[in-house]
């Protein structure tokens, strides 16, 4: 299923060797017809009015603020979790130290 499929050797093209020629190449005649012009696109163009540009900028700013708030809250959650784990580690260490002293 995952093995590559190679063509049989008889269908592969045979390499040809190029012989250097001593003849000069022919000079092409100058063209007098103009180059073809690309057809105009049928897609509508987007034109921004000052009001729509302002709305677009305000929407982009709102997205940036929301994403920033989410990222900051996630960072704060990680920091609070790390602090609580550190406090638990200190308490457990002190409990184990007291347990060793009583023996």
Q: Which of 42, 59, 43 is nearest to 51 (CA)?
A: 59
Q: How far is it, in rounded angstroms, from Cα 25 to Cα 54?
A: 62
Give the total number of structural domains in the chain. 1
Residue 79 placed within a domain: yes
Residue 84 placed within a domain: yes
Q: Mind listing the pLDDT tens digit for each residue in 37-47?
A: 767 777 777 78
Tokens representing residue 15 in the block: 């390499």
Residue 78 placed within a domain: yes
Instruction: Give the model's confidence band at 8: pLDDT under 50 very low, under 70 low, under 90 confident, else very high.
Output: confident
Range(s) of the domain holding residue 99:
68-103
Residue 81 placed within a domain: yes
pTM of the model: 0.46
């Amino acid at each position: 299923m995952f093995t590559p499929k190679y063509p049989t050797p008889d269908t592969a093209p045979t390499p040809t060797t190029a012989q250097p020629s001593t003849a000069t190449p022919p000079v092409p005649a100058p063209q007098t017809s103009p180059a073809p012009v690309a057809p105009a696109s049928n897609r509508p163009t987007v034109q921004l009015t000052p009001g729509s540009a302002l709305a677009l900028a305000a929407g982009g700013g709102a997205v940036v603020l929301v994403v920033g708030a989410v990222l900051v809250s996630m960072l704060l959650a990680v920091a609070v979790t790390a602090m609580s784990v550190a406090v638990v580690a200190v308490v457990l260490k002190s409990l184990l130290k007291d347990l060793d002293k009583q023996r």
